[in-house]
Amino acid sequence: MDVNNLKQHALNIRRNIVKMVYAAQSGHPGGSLGAADILTYLYFEEMNVNKDNVSSTDRDRFILSKGHCSPALYATLSEAGLMDEDLLKFRQLGSRLQGHPNMNYIAGVDMSTGSLGQGISCAVGMALANKLDNKDHRVYALCGDGESEEGIVWEALMAACHYKLDDLCVIFDQNGLQIDGNVQDVIGPLPLLDKAKAFGAATVECDGNDFESLKNAFEFARQTKGVPTVIIAHTVKGKGVSYMENNYAWHGAAPKEEDFKIAMEDLKEVR
Amino acid sequence: MAQETRVAYGERLAELIKENENVVVLDADLTKSTKTIEAKKACPERHFNAGIAEANMMGMAAGLAASGKTVFASSFAMFASGRAWEIIRNSICYPNLNVKVCATHSGLSVGEDGASHQACEDVAIMRALPNMKIFVPCDQYETKAMIDYVAKIDGPCYVRMGRGKVEDVYNENTVFNFDKVDVLRKGNGDVVLFAMGLMVQEALKAAEELDATVVNVSVIKPADEEDIKELLASHKRAYTLEEHSVIGGLFSLVSEVKARTSITTPVTPIAVNDTFGESGKMADVLKKYGLTAEHIKEVVNG
């Protein structure tokens, strides 16, 4: 693992996230920026997806259950050379880059998501299909901590544990914030790790904005047998853009011109 | 003979899961009622119980289908269509995945369980979904042919079946054409009865006395609109018969087809009149809510 290389990819992805949301004047920059390192690690270190197999299902799969963070997925697919779309057409009429991902428009999008909670459920189905087909491909689902408030998330985890889907890795992107504020003030879904453990999953916590920490967590997941793994990845919402960090107001707001300039300055180089 | 459509489903599914190794069956703790237990007995390794979690079952179905499986997912119509509606919309219909939602215990004929379990809105809410195809068999033979048919076509399908026994309309030699409505009886050109599900049997019983044309509309979407238009145009009065709400089902379908033409034939619904059902024996409930041959005759005779 070349950390500096990953940091450069993550920076490029973050710059594109901000550019996309700025161009569209619409979208979800906060969670996208926070999750950028997780996606970078998955696509540049962890998953066996490449140009040759991207159109196939015979490979590792990634489901962005928190589908509103589509800018992070599109920017990552683009950075990894797996997608050829014009990022600046994001959310615009006629573009394949829908506000929330559509699997039929983009080969690298493994499931259409956007309605929260459903992605993890679909990931359970994919992991079950792997077992039926005797494949050892891995299935990754990225869920928000706010998203965990949807009951289907826990229905899915119950099924994943029951069917011993050890190829499944659910990552909770725990940035502590959702649209209406702090997750604990809104309804209190935490602690997620204890809940996941109670359902029977193997659990591990990591710093979701640190590649060494992510590496340890994903290696733990890979070594886990007989149960699915839940990674609690602590992230900073808005990571990399000074005024967006830990500010829920940037969950679903687009920067104006002045803010955009500051963001590009913040994201000028690897720090 | 009389047989439950759900029993026919279970029998055919048990054969299908052995014939086609791509088939995966999901159920939500109702395997003995939906009869997917027959498929489980035939091939336990490709039958999965999702537990009492219909929403997750549909999500799992979507994931399996996204990995190339032909998925049959069953529960009672109330929960399959209602509880899981938004997952069917966003995770199955939007990505156009190959999931067959095979719902049993539809309509008032559920009987004793009462209104909480009597799905009379399922066709309406499934019809509204892009990419969804809708099938309502009237007897065991049509059910088996439909299960074969939906297994062969790609994309989301909703198959609406019942709890109670229904009399045979067809036989084991019937060749079905699901591109067309099926004119089961030709009348004198005065009255045409468009029927769906178990109301086909009631229509046939009422038809002799009325000398009515009887049409089995078992593919609700995509519907055979051309034949419906022709049948409307060639009759003086039309009636729609359905064990379903008057809103969004067969009456809506026929009325919508008519509204796009200059045909003036009046269409009268015999349906569940925007109300909840209640507990009772199947025959008693159907009688109370006007879903019988006797009531059809009363309405048609004015």
- When the pLDDT of each residue in chain B is averaged and rounded to a whole number, the result is 98
> What dotted CATH number matches A3-266?
3.40.50.970
Cross-chain Cβ contact A125/B90 below 8 Å: no
Residue with tokens 């498929």: B39
User: Within a 10 A sphere around the Cβ of A208, how many other Cβ atoms?
Assistant: 27
- Residue from the list B24, B45, B53 with its beta carbon closest to the beta carbon of A155: B53
Sequence length of chain A is: 271
Decide: B227 and B248 in contact? Cβ < 8 Å.
no
Q: Tell me what ipTM this predicted complex has.
A: 0.97
* Residue among B202, B205, B137, B204 at smallest CA distance from B176: B137
Q: Rounded mean pLDDT of A27-33?
A: 98
For chain A, give the mean pLDDT. 98
Looking at residue B238, what is its pLDDT?
98
Give percent helix, percent strand, percent coil of chain A, each to the nearest 5. 45, 10, 40
User: What is the per-residue pLDDT across B170-205, written as a single tens digit (0 to 9) for each?
Assistant: 999 999 999 999 999 999 999 999 999 999 999 999
How many residues can be counted in chain B? 302
pLDDT for residue A244 is more than 90: yes
Interface check A160 vs B, CB under 8 A? no
- Say what the pLDDT of residue A271 is: 86
Give percent above pLDDT 70 in chain B: 100
Letter for the amino acid at A186? V
Written as six digits, the tokens of A211 are 């590649």
CA angle A86-A91-A95, nearest 5°?
50
Q: Which residues contact B173 (CB under 8 A, 6 or more apart)?
A: none
Q: Give the model's confidence band at B167: pLDDT under 50 very low, under 70 low, under 90 confident, else very high.
A: very high
Helix pair angle (B293-301, B199-210), 10° resolution: 50
- Long-range contacts of the stretch B259-266 (C-beta < 8 A, 24+): B261/B229, B261/B232, B261/B233, B263/B229, B263/B232, B263/B233, B265/B232, B265/B233, B265/B235, B265/B236, B265/B237, B265/B238, B266/B237, B266/B238
Which DSSP category does A135 fall into? -
Q: At a CB cut-off of 8 Å and minimum separation 6, what does B253 contact?
A: B127, B217, B220, B221, B223, B228, B240
Residues from chain A contacting residue B46 (CB–CB below 8 Å): 132
What are A58-78's pLDDT values in tens digits? 999 999 999 999 999 999 999
Q: For the stretch A210-244, what's the b/e string if a residue is b when 16 or more beta carbons lie within 10 angstroms of its beta carbon? A: bbebbbebbebbeebeebbbbbbbbbbbbbbbeeb
What burial letters (b/e) apply to B2-35, b meaning 16+ CB within 10 Å?
ebbbbbbbbbbbbebbeeeeebbbbbbebbebbb
Q: Do B60 and A115 touch (CB under 8 A)?
A: no
Catalytic residue from among B54, B121, B202, B242: B54
Q: What is the dihedral angle through the alpha carbons of B30, B32, B38, B43, rounded to the nearest 10 degrees?
A: 50
Alpha carbon of A29 to those of A179, A237, B132: distances in Å? 12, 9, 34
Dist. CA B217–CA B253, nearest whole Å = 10
User: Could you report the per-residue pLDDT of B225-260, keeping only the tens digit for each?
Assistant: 999 999 999 999 999 999 999 999 999 999 999 999
Q: Is A205 exposed, middle or buried (0-12, 13-18, 19+ CB in 10 A)?
A: middle
| pLDDT, position A134 | 97
Please report, for residues A107, B74, B81, B133, B135, the alpha-carbon distance to residue B146 in angstroms, rounded to integers and kept in the order given. Answer: 32, 15, 19, 12, 8
Q: Which of residues 200 through 239 in chain A touch B, CB cutoff 8 A? A: none
Inter-chain touch A102–B61, beta carbons under 8 Å: no
Domain boundaries, chain A: 3-266
- Interface membership of A118 toward B (CB under 8 Å): yes
CA distance B45 to chain A (A): 8
Q: What is the DSSP letter of A110?
A: -
B104-157 residue pLDDT tens: 999 999 999 999 999 999 999 999 999 999 999 999 999 999 999 999 999 999
Question: pLDDT for A74-96, tens place per residue?
Answer: 999 999 999 999 999 999 999 99
Tokens of B33: 């009622």
B30 and A CB contact within 8 Å: no
Nearest chain A residue to B69 by CA: give it. Answer: A129
B282: tokens are 């199947």
Known active-site residue B54: yes
Condensed to tens digits (0 to 9), the pLDDT of residues B62-73 reads: 999 999 999 999
Place of tokens 């540049």: A44
Mean pLDDT along residues A3-15: 98
- With beta carbons under 8 A apart, name residues in chain A contacting B75: none
Q: Which of B50, B71, B95 sits opposite A103 (nearest CB)?
A: B95
Please give the pLDDT value at position B270. Answer: 98
Structure tokens at A91: 């959310």
Out of B48, B68, B87, name the one closest to residue A57 (CB).
Answer: B68
pLDDT over 90 at A198, yes or no: yes
